[in-house]
Amino acid sequence: MRARLRLWLQIPLAFLLIASNTLLHTAALLVVALFKALLPLSAWRHACSALLAHVVESWIAVNSTLIGLMTPTRFHVEGIDGLSRSGSYLMLSNHQSWVDIPVLQKVFNRHIPFMRFFLKRQLIWVPVLGLAWWALDFPFMQRLDRATLKKHPERRGNDVGATRRACAKYRGMPVTVMNFVEGTRNTSEKHAARASPFAHLLRPKAGGVAFVLDAMGDALQVILDVTVVYPGGRPTLMDLMAGRIREVRVHVRQRRIPADLQHGDYENDIAFRARFQQWVNMLWLEKDALIVRMLADTAA
Write the DSSP string, 172-188: TS-EEEEEETTSS---H
Arithmetic mean of pLDDT over the chain: 86
pLDDT of residue 159: 61
More confident residue, 54 or 8: 54
Q: What is the pLDDT of residues 155-177, one digit of tens each?
A: 555 566 666 777 777 777 888 99
The residue-averaged pLDDT of 242-266 equals 92
More confident residue, 199 or 37: 199
pLDDT of residue 237: 92
Whether the per-residue pLDDT at 153 is higher than 90: the answer is: no
Whether the per-residue pLDDT at 135 is higher than 90: the answer is: no
Long-range (24+ apart) CB contacts under 8 A made by 272-280 are 273/206, 273/210, 276/206, 276/209, 276/210, 277/206, 279/206, 280/181, 280/204, 280/206, 280/209
Residue 300: pLDDT band by 50, 70, 90 thresholds? low
DSSP conformational letter for 251: E
The residue-averaged pLDDT of 226-252 equals 94
The residue-averaged pLDDT of 38-47 equals 80
CATH of domain 74-299: 3.40.1130
Residue 146: pLDDT band by 50, 70, 90 thresholds? low
